[in-house]
Structure 1
């Protein structure tokens, strides 16, 4: 894979060419920033920026002002190849807080496995209705130490916008949900994304995550997507690289906490 070429394509199609994730949201390009703005309860954030030492501080201040007006938390999603080189330090100085960095992994769909063996007693089920979404949320509550997750909201929006899609998949042991993961198809681009993979502690290390990857890759391949993209944690990265994913850099979210005075 030509890393520089694919990274530039990813920037152009997924970041610079981003689309709203729900009907009432909007994507705006203002100067050197592309931002996503949602109605209350949705996601606000910066998806792409191309700034320099002379323009960065003013652009950051403008986003902070807007996000404070909108209320709630906001995110500036940075990548290791973004300019200027000291953008992270400037964001921290403006009140953003760095989250854990992740690795931007990409693979050609054609080289990835489309099937993977499951542990005995485990079956996979596509998420197609509200009762399934509740099971996904239950998995995430256990897999991520009861942290609040937006995955339910994201799946509902995907089903509303494209009822024929399969936005997520569940792994079940009998009727008990033990793992879940989301698939994001980006129409008009070459990239499908793997998101929100989580397995409850007692079922980790048995191949379920690999099976969920293969299940989603198969759907993306059938829809004609050339590349699969993942923002991988330190836990999922080794698994994904063994499957054929390659690292194109790192990505770090910087969160602007909600204004405590509001």
Structure 2
């Protein structure tokens, strides 16, 4: 039996505040218990499980983050998990103008149990990329799959690679001249975790094992680097596949988003 409570405790202890190299063009600033990340496509707030303040003090903390990004003319997202404290933080974020986005399922797996030789459809090649043109194609595929402008992803990935190329692996599955699937692995320094991000598959390639192949490849690389655990914030479409691959649900996460008025 998997000790879900132990996995959740490891996640809370190690995966709340980014510990790696700061991507170029971005700044990490602490405001009391929270970390404010600026300079990217959107501002981000990361926090421990319990922010440690309540009531009017919490309202002021929230307002400072909103107003900081308002002054920049930029939106900001505050990431919450279902077990975070204080329990009225979601309501206070909404009162400050933040809007809850669709919840994701937080899943964790043991890398050794998931690692395998990736099995790819015929004529599909798995490639690690970092060149500017490949990152643009990566972003273009994400725009096509998600139906939203993801052009910013190319610059974001380039900044991550520039900051520390050893902290990130960017994978594409290529069918001829066309990308069919994308995936990212971020190796969190000082932790047991590798975060699996960026999974997107063109509709015509779904159901053919590409997503599973990307999971297997990243898990194998995680093991080779000495990382024990894999983490995913999974969409409703991805969560069932991950469960079949051996991932275990520990909580849910929700981004509360504030957008500056036009």
State whether TM-score is above 0.5.
yes
Q: Distance in 2 between matches of 1:20 and 1:57?
A: 30
Within 5 Å, give how 1:100-119 maps onto structure 2.
Answer: 100-119=102-121
In the alignment, the residues of structure 2 paired with residue 60 and residue 26 of structure 1 have an alpha-carbon distance, to the nearest angstrom, of: 19
1:88-114 deviation digits (Å, cap 9, x = unpaired): 121111101111100111111111132
Match of 2:76 in 1: 74
Gapped regions of structure 2 (runs ≥ 5) = none
Paired residue secondary structure (2:69): helix
For residues 139-181 of structure 1, the C-alpha deviation after alignment (integer angstroms, 9 at most, x for no partner) is 1121112433543123202221233565211111112111111
1:201 is matched with 203
Matched positions, count = 258
Q: 1:253 to 1:212 in 2, by over 3 A?
A: same
Choose the corresponding residue for 2:164, options 162, 165, 175.
162
| Matching residue of 1:250 | 252
| Alignment of structure 1 residues 232-251 onto 2, 5 Å | 232-251=234-253
The answer to which of 229-238 and 57-66 deviates more is: 57-66
TM, length-normalised to structure 1: 0.90
Q: Where in structure 1 do 4 or more consecutive aligned residues deviate above 6 Å?
A: none
Change (3 A) 1:163 1:16: closer
Q: 1:31 maps to which residue?
A: 32
* Alpha-carbon distance in structure 2 between the residues aligned to 1:217 and 1:169: 13
In structure 2, the CA distance between the partners of 1:80 and 1:248, relative to structure 1 (3 Å rule), is: same
How far apart in 2 are the matches of 1:234 and 1:19?
A: 28
- The secondary structure found in structure 2 opposite 1:167 is strand
Q: Which runs of 5+ in 1 are unaligned?
A: none
Alignment map for 1:9-158 (pairs within 5 Å): 9-16=10-17, 18-19=19-20, 21-32=22-33, 34-39=34-39, 41-49=40-48, 50-54=51-55, 55-158=57-160
Give 1:178's aligned residue: 180
